């Protein structure tokens, strides 16, 4: 039998949460990161909250982040709670602007930083089996058509909303709503791009639009999966027809000379965007970080911040655990409770501001009993 590869921590998932964990722990312990994708996936096009500046500085990454050249986001325009657009800028935010990320570049950069700090990256790779072996774990990892045994003292689920490891250990995700998102990418006319993020509420959900690198733009519609409007989110032609009924956003897009991409792969997408939380978020010899632990509504713009924060907090807990502290992992998981509660309070306040369509299911659900668990889900 092949001798197992030895690691102190094996991380499944090389998104922002997994790489933040790896780059903080790798200077102290042997870290192996696996991802089933060779490179970062195509994503909708996300914004990074201004407060991420403090986290990146704590990790010694602020100057390097700036050198990556992501576009600053100086504010947003929202049509929310009334028909008139309201603009808010980040001039008075002590953390400075937020950022319109080039998500592929951001994820690829974090992978490189983790590797430069000593983490081993194995991609594409995924665990086929995971078994307890003494105080640690024995994994069979599939990579490039081969099966490699790996022995780890600690496992980290950084596999996103699917929580691929934690689910094997019996942890369950509590789902609070049925939010889904359909989006289309396109291009703005040269010299006419606006740097603002746009949000607009409508009777069955809400719209989001933001600039992307190289003059491109995303336009996204959010609604609940069980509502008829979800059919429009799934199909890009229907999504664009629906967009024309959304007056302020349509006018803004026209002013930018926005043209949606033609037919074909990469034109748009559809995905789950509900709030959810994993329970428990740690167990004997494992913990979960990022979306694998807490899935946020995109309205909050907090998902990547949370991925970075939990990656850093989990690395500190992992160091204590590997150094013999028996309470380190459970303390880490307990620290997620106030994050979840603060998130819920903020989201409730935001949805509560929009009262024009209280008779419509999308809004009445959020106003009457916001974020009560729908049940155990994915």
Ligand X SMILES: Cc1cc2nc3c(=O)[nH]c(=O)nc-3n(C[C@H](O)[C@H](O)[C@H](O)COP(=O)(O)OP(=O)(O)OC[C@H]3O[C@@H](n4cnc5c(N)ncnc54)[C@H](O)[C@@H]3O)c2cc1C
Any contact of residue 298 with ligand X (CB under 6 A)?
yes
Any contact of residue 303 with ligand X (CB under 6 A)?
yes
Any contact of residue 291 with ligand X (CB under 6 A)?
yes
Any contact of residue 18 with ligand X (CB under 6 A)?
yes
Q: Judged by CB under 6 A, which stretch of 86-94, 296-304, 330-338, 346-354 contacts ligand X?
A: 296-304
Any contact of residue 17 with ligand X (CB under 6 A)?
yes
The torsion of the CA quartet 324, 329, 335, 340, rounded to 10 degrees, works out to: 170
Q: How far is CA 278 from CA 15, 41, 142, 346, in A?
A: 18, 23, 26, 19
Cα separation of 378 and 162, whole Å? 7
Any contact of residue 162 with ligand X (CB under 6 A)?
yes
Instruction: Quote the least distance from Cβ 282 to ligand X, whole Å.
Output: 15
Taking the least distance from each CB to ligand X, the nearer of 13 and 280 is: 13
Instruction: Quote the least distance from Cβ 204 to ligand X, whole Å.
Output: 16
Any contact of residue 14 with ligand X (CB under 6 A)?
yes
- Per the DSSP assignment, residues forming a β-bridge with 299 are none
Q: Judged by CB under 6 A, which stretch of 23-31, 146-154, 294-302, 351-359 contacts ligand X?
A: 294-302
Any contact of residue 105 with ligand X (CB under 6 A)?
no
Any contact of residue 230 with ligand X (CB under 6 A)?
no
Any contact of residue 55 with ligand X (CB under 6 A)?
no
Instruction: Quote the least distance from Cβ 157 to ligand X, whole Å.
Output: 9
Any contact of residue 12 with ligand X (CB under 6 A)?
yes
Any contact of residue 98 with ligand X (CB under 6 A)?
no
Q: Judged by CB under 6 A, which stretch of 31-39, 110-118, 185-193, 347-355 contacts ligand X?
A: 31-39
Among 8, 35, 204, 319, binds ligand X (CB under 6 A): 35
> Mask: binding to ligand X, 251-290, rule CB under 6 A, as x and -?
--------------------x-x----------------x
Any contact of residue 181 with ligand X (CB under 6 A)?
yes
Taking the least distance from each CB to ligand X, the nearer of 171 and 273 is: 273
Any contact of residue 209 with ligand X (CB under 6 A)?
no
Q: Judged by CB under 6 A, which stretch of 42-50, 168-176, 246-254, 359-367 contacts ligand X?
A: 42-50
Instruction: Quote the least distance from Cβ 359 to ligand X, whole Å.
Output: 26
Cα separation of 281 and 173, whole Å? 10
Any contact of residue 159 with ligand X (CB under 6 A)?
yes
Report the interface residues with ligand X, using CB under 6 A.
Answer: 12-18, 34-37, 44, 46-48, 126, 158-160, 162, 164, 181, 271, 273, 290-292, 298, 301-305, 307
């Amino acid at each position: 039998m092949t001798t197992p590869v030895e690691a102190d921590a094996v991380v499944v998932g090389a998104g922002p949460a997994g790489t933040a964990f790896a780059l903080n722990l790798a200077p102290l312990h042997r870290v192996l990161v696996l991802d089933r994708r060779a490179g970062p996936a195509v994503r909708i096009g996300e914004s990074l909250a201004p407060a991420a500046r403090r986290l990146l500085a704590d990790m010694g990454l602020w100057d390097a982040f700036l050198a990556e050249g992501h576009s600053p986001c100086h504010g947003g325009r929202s049509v929310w709670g009334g028909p008139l657009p309201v603009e808010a800028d980040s001039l008075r935010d002590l953390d400075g602007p937020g950022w319109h990320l080039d998500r592929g570049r951001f994820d690829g950069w974090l992978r490189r930083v983790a590797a430069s700090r000593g983490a081993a990256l194995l991609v594409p790779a995924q665990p086929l089996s995971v078994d307890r072996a003494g105080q640690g774990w024995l994994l069979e990892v599939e990579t490039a058509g081969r099966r490699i045994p790996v022995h780890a003292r600690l496992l980290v689920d950084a596999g996103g909303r699917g929580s691929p490891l934690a689910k094997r250990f019996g942890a369950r995700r509590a789902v609070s709503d049925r939010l889904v998102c359909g989006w289309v990418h396109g291009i703005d006319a040269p010299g006419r791009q606006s740097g603002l993020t746009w949000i607009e509420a409508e009777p069955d959900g809400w719209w989001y639009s933001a600039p992307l690198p190289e003059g491109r733009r995303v336009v996204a519609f959010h609604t609940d999966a069980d509502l008829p409007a979800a059919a429009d989110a799934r199909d890009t032609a229907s999504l664009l027809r629906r967009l024309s009924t959304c007056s302020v956003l349509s006018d803004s897009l026209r002013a930018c000379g926005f043209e949606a991409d033609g037919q074909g792969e990469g034109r748009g997408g559809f995905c789950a965007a509900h709030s959810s939380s994993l329970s428990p978020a740690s167990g004997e010899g494992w913990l979960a970080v990022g979306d694998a632990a807490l899935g946020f509504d995109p309205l909050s713009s907090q998902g990547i911040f949370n991925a970075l924060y939990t990656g850093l907090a989990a690395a500190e807990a992992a160091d204590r655990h590997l150094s013999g502290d028996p309470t380190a992992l459970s303390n880490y998981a307990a620290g997620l409770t106030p994050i979840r509660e603060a998130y819920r309070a903020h989201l409730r306040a935001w949805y509560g501001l929009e009262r024009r369509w209280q008779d419509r299911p999308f809004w009445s659900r959020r106003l009457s009993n916001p974020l009560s668990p729908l049940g155990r889900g994915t």
